[in-house]
């Protein structure tokens, strides 16, 4: 990976021709393909005509912001998604021709897809848990057996060796098959739902590596969780289902054509993200709220119902899976990571001392969370230098971190004292299974090692031990502090390696231990249960790092099944988030910036209120006539990377030049491929367009649309004309040139736009001033144009 600023330096020489999508003129070197001389002839005439529309524009400027996303250390051009409903003749005729049965099919299919997303995500979540419990259980059982025979060195070799093999396998999958599967995936899902179409982040290969790599990474003992990757997994499943069929494999049923657009895919991926959280935590309501609070940039009431239905299906699948596995048919998977954590504190009243302790807990956690985010940012930027050197360096880094983790987990328990088993314990001491809280480790019979009970366990079992109200003083305060410090820093060092890795579990682990430490420190003034304090610590650390409140609160309540915890959980989340916001942004927002993804925030920067939309547009502006010459269109498509072009109606068809609308590059390619040309500059006969289907204009799967090289344009075709009116969006979103950039930015994000037309305020001027795209709202771009404006006073 590299920062967006670093990528911007690589692209400083690019020209920002503010006409199309986020990728402006990436290879605009003026070169022509094929019929160079003849196209050039038309270009001179075409350029003269377009010069009339350059007058209102500002001078051409240098691009100062990144137009390249860094996903899994791979540089790739990004584009925005087309969420806007196109209002043109072709689509209007298609809607008019739809029968009631087709509309019914469309509605039913939405719910069918929601059902399939829930089933698929639930089954993957169950599979992940069964696999992790069995692989990690085998590893821990083998280590424990060797230690019971006093073969300590062999136990370490087996433990560390298996961890490194699993880590190398997970890193190799990411390095060679799907680099975009590294990390948690939540920032990528947030970016997609914000309108960013980065390469392969939801591809089938990414899904495969996310599932298998997550299992291997968690089983390898890394301080990572499988919960974050489950969000990405759910989104990938939804994306594959939302492709609307496949021409390659003959899956092109007519009723699937309704889903060949970004709007319906966005809805499905939102449901997928909610299903991922529900599958990770068995928290259906928390999953919906997570999608609403953190993932989605756009929401509506109908989506709330469908996402809730999806998460309910996930909960049913998980419940059925647990009941099946309770018969012992799933190997070492018994309760697994899907059991509700038992806090069950009998304490229902809170004293003043309890409130003071909780306030201190939340305040310190806010500071710790902001430090966590700061260090994660530095580590990820440092690792990017290593990861960019090649796949083998990615694998080497993952194996090195695995060895470090194995050494910490195996050798740190040796410094803990052996503690006599409690006489009133209701569970066997020392523990006889691989997930118990009384690990014997190197201790004699009748004693246990409390640090080993935390380190030599799966992450889920360690959290369960820390949350348990039955365990009061079984963990020494020094052991809790060592465990907290180790997990805190190992979680930071682990994030950024080429392995699918979630942040939820590392933060919950560190927070749970932190809560136990605070409960011991405030023991004289508080009567709250130790397990309850552990839960509050986890909540406070989540609030301090991820800056979520409502969804985290509900997820934790669904995990613990205790509504009596609600008031203090809400209080500690609000305090930790408020304190942490003073220092920096949430961890996912920081990762979005590191990866160079141009994410549009829900609010505009204050200095944008002093800038008008006309102050950031730049030229020259490429426009087409309503009836355009084929040679002109072909040349513009050859020499620019724009994805949207204004269409201008000119005399003699109208009295004065007027903005007809906006046409997309993909639509132009489909129209040119159909070769519905005329020799005269006249409106197209409706019968000429009969050989083009609306299905042809549907959004194809990743990289499968019509490309420029697919066109078969002959020399004689260059002199012919094509009518753009049938495919032109006649109602594009427009703003007046004097509107503040802050107001335009809010409109742009709320409506999920790709292009926003800027029109002149006065009459008698050309009908369009320019086009605003996502790139123009980026703070890096605006501050590049006006570096001093941030320091000016504004009111």
Q: Residues 609-664: pLDDT tens digits?
A: 999 999 998 767 889 998 999 999 999 998 888 889 999 998 888 888 899 999 99
User: Three-class SS of residue 644?
Assistant: strand
* Other CB atoms within 10 A of residue 619 CB: 22
Burial zone of 268 (CB within 10 Å; 0-12 exposed, 13-18 middle, 19+ buried): buried
Domain with CATH 1.10.3080.10 in the chain: 105-326, 352-595
The pTM of the full predicted model, rounded to 2 decimals, is 0.87
CB 746 within 8 A of CB 604: yes
pLDDT of residue 44: 54
Phi, then psi, of 170 in degrees rounded to 5: -65, -45
- The greatest distance separating any two alpha carbons of the chain, rounded to the nearest whole angstrom, comes to 99
Locus of tokens 């909780």:
358
CB 221 within 8 A of CB 629: no
Q: Report residue 285 as tokens.
A: 């309501």
Which regions of the chain carry the CATH code 3.10.580.10? 606-785
Instruction: Give 448's DSSP letter.
Output: E
Q: Supply φ then ψ for residue 466, to 5 degrees.
A: -70, -35
Computed over every residue of the chain, the mean pLDDT equals 82
Element (H, E) at 627: strand 627-629
Q: What percent of the chain has pLDDT over 90?
A: 41
Place of tokens 């084929």: 630
| Whole-number Å distance between alpha carbons of 174 and 154 | 30
Environment class of residue 795 by beta-carbon count within 10 Å: exposed (0-12), middle (13-18) or buried (19+)?
Answer: exposed
User: Is the CB of residue 208 less than 8 Å from the CB of residue 178?
Assistant: yes
What pLDDT score was predicted for residue 674? 83
Burial class (CB in 10 A: 0-12, 13-18, 19+), 524: exposed
User: How far does the chain reach from its first CA to its final CA, in angstroms?
Assistant: 38
Please state which CATH number belongs to domain 352-595.
Answer: 1.10.3080.10
Backbone torsions φ then ψ of 523, nearest 5 degrees? -55, -35
User: What are the DSSP E strand ranges found in 419-463?
Assistant: 419-420, 447-448
| pLDDT score recorded for residue 36 | 52
d(C-alpha 67, C-alpha 598), whole Å: 8
Does the CA dihedral 385-547-192-217 come out positive or negative? positive
pLDDT digits (tens, 9 = 90+) for 59-102: 333 333 333 444 444 445 678 888 888 887 777 777 777 778 87
Residues in the chain: 795
Reply yes or no: is the peptide bond before residue 652 cis, omega within 30 of 0. yes
- Rounded to the nearest 10 degrees, how much is the dihedral formed by the CA atoms of 330, 334, 336, 338? 90
In this predicted structure, what is the pLDDT of residue 50? 54
Could you tell me the fold of the domain covering 105-326? Clc chloride channel (1.10.3080)
Helix, strand, coil share (%) of the chain residues, nearest 5: 60, 10, 35
pLDDT mean for each 10 residues of the chain (795 residues) = 38 40 38 48 52 37 39 59 82 75 86 95 93 90 87 92 96 92 91 87 92 94 90 93 65 68 90 95 92 90 92 93 82 57 58 88 96 94 88 94 95 88 72 67 83 86 81 82 95 92 92 92 83 90 93 86 81 95 92 88 90 85 89 89 89 86 90 85 73 72 70 84 89 94 94 92 88 90 85 51
- Write the CA distances from 221 to 144, 168, 216, 225, 434, integer angstroms: 15, 12, 9, 10, 14
Q: Is 647 helix (H, G, I), strand (E, B) or coil?
A: strand
Element housing 7 (H / E): helix 4-10
C-alpha to C-alpha distance for 511 and 225, rounded to whole angstroms = 14
Give the count of beta carbons closer than 10 Å to the beta carbon of residue 401: 24
Taking the C-alpha atoms of residue 475 and residue 437, their distance in angstroms, rounded to an integer, is 10
The pair phi, psi for residue 651, each rounded to 5°, is -55, 145
Question: Positive or negative, the Cα torsion across 219, 224, 225, 228?
Answer: negative
pLDDT value of residue 246 = 58
User: CA 477, CA 32: separation in Å to the nearest integer?
Assistant: 72
> CB of 276 within 8 A of CB of 287?
yes
Q: What is the pLDDT of residue 14?
A: 33
Starting at the edge strand found earlier in the chain, the sheet holding 756-759 runs 734-736, 756-759, 770-772
pLDDT value, residue 688: 62
Spell out the long-range contacts of 430-438 with Cβ–Cβ below 8 A and sequence spacing 24 or more: 434/137, 434/140, 434/141, 434/144, 434/332, 435/137, 435/461, 435/464, 437/465, 437/468, 437/471, 437/474, 438/474
d(CA 216, CA 229): 12
Q: What is the pLDDT of residues 309-334, one digit of tens each?
A: 999 999 999 989 888 887 777 877 65
Architecture of domain 606-785: Roll (3.10)
């Amino acid at each position: 990976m590299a920062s967006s600023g670093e990528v911007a330096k690589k692209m400083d020489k690019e020209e920002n021709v503010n006409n199309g999508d986020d990728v402006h003129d990436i290879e605009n070197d003026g070169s022509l393909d094929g019929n160079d001389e003849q196209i050039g002839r038309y270009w001179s005439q075409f350029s003269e005509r377009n010069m009339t529309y350059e007058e209102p524009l500002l001078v051409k400027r240098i691009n100062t912001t990144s137009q390249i996303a860094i996903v899994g250390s791979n540089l790739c051009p990004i584009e925005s998604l087309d969420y806007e409903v196109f209002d043109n003749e072709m689509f209007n005729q298609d809607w008019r021709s739809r029968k009631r049965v087709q509309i019914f099919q469309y509605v039913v299919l939405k719910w069918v897809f929601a059902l399939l997303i829930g089933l698929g995500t639930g089954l993957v979540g169950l599979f992940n848990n069964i696999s992790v419990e069995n692989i990690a259980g085998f590893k821990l059982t083998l280590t424990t057996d060797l230690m019971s025979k006093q073969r300590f060195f062999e136990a370490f070799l087996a433990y560390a060796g298996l961890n490194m093999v699993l880590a190398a396998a997970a890193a190799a999958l990411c390095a060679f098959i799907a680099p975009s599967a590294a990390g948690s995936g939540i920032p990528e899902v947030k970016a997609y739902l914000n309108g960013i179409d980065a390469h392969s982040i939801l591809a089938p290969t990414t899904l495969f590596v996310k599932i298998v790599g997550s299992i291997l990474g968690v089983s390898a003992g890394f301080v990572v969780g499988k919960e974050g990757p489950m969000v990405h997994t759910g989104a990938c499943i939804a994306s594959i289902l939302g492709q609307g069929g496949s021409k390659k494999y003959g899956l092109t049923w007519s009723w699937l054509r309704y889903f060949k657009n970004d709007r319906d895919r966005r809805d499905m991926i939102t449901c997928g993200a909610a299903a991922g959280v529900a599958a990770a935590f068995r928290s259906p309501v928390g999953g919906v709220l997570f999608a609403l609070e953190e993932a989605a940039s756009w929401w509506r009431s109908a989506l709330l119902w469908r996402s809730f239905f999806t998460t309910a299906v996930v909960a049913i699948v998980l419940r059925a899976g647990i009941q099946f596995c309770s018969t012992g048919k799933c190997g070492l998977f018994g309760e697994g990571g899907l059991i509700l954590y038992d806090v069950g504190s009998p304490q229902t009243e809170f004293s003043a001392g309890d409130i003071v302790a909780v306030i201190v807990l939340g305040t310190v956690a806010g500071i710790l969370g902001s430090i966590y985010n700061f260090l994660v940012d530095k580590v990820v930027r440092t690792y990017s230098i290593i990861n960019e050197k090649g796949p083998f360096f990615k694998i080497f880094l993952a194996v090195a971190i695995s060895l470090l983790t194995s050494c910490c987990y195996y050798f740190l328990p040796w410094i803990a004292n052996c503690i006599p088993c409690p006489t009133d314990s209701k569970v066997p001491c020392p523990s006889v299974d691989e997930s118990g809280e009384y690990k014997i480790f190197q201790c004699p019979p009748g004693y246990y090692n409390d640090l080993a009970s935390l380190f030599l366990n799966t992450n889920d079992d360690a959290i369960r031990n820390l949350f348990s109200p039955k365990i009061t003083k079984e963990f020494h305060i020094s052991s809790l502090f060592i465990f907290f410090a180790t997990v805190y820093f190992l979680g930071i060092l682990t994030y950024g390696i080429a392995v699918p890795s979630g942040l939820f579990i590392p933060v919950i682990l560190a927070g749970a231990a932190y809560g136990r430490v605070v409960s011991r420190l405030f023991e004289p003034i508080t009567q709250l249960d130790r397990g309850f304090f552990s839960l509050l610590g986890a909540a406070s650390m989540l609030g301090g790092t991820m800056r979520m409140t409502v969804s985290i609160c509900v997820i934790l309540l669904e995990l613990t099944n205790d509504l009596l915890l609600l008031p203090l959980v809400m209080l500690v989340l609000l305090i930790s988030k408020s304190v942490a916001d003073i220092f920096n942004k949430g961890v996912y927002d920081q990762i979005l910036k590191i990866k160079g993804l141009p994410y549009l925030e829900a609010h505009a920067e204050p200095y944008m209120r002093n800038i008008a939309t006309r102050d950031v547009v730049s030229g020259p502006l490429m426009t087409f006539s309503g009836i355009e010459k084929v040679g002109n269109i072909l040349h513009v498509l050859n020499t620019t990377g724009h994805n949207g072009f204004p269409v201008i109606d000119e005399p003699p068809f109208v009295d004065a030049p007027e903005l007809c609308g906006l046409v997309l590059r993909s639509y132009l390619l489909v129209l040119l491929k159909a070769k519905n040309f005329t020799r005269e500059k006249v409106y197209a006969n409706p019968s000429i367009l009969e050989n083009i289907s609306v299905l042809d204009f549907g959004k194809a799967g990743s990289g499968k649309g019509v490309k420029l090289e697919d066109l078969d344009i002959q020399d004689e075709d260059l002199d012919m004309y094509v009518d753009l009116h049938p495919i032109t969006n006649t109602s594009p979103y427009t703003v007046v040139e004097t509107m503040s950039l802050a107001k335009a930015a809010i409109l742009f994000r709320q409506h999920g736009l790709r292009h926003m037309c800027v029109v002149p305020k006065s009459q008698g001027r050309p009908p369009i001033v320019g086009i605003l795209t996502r790139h123009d709202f980026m703070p890096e771009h605006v501050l590049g144009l006006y570096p001093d404006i941030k320091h000016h006073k504004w009111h």
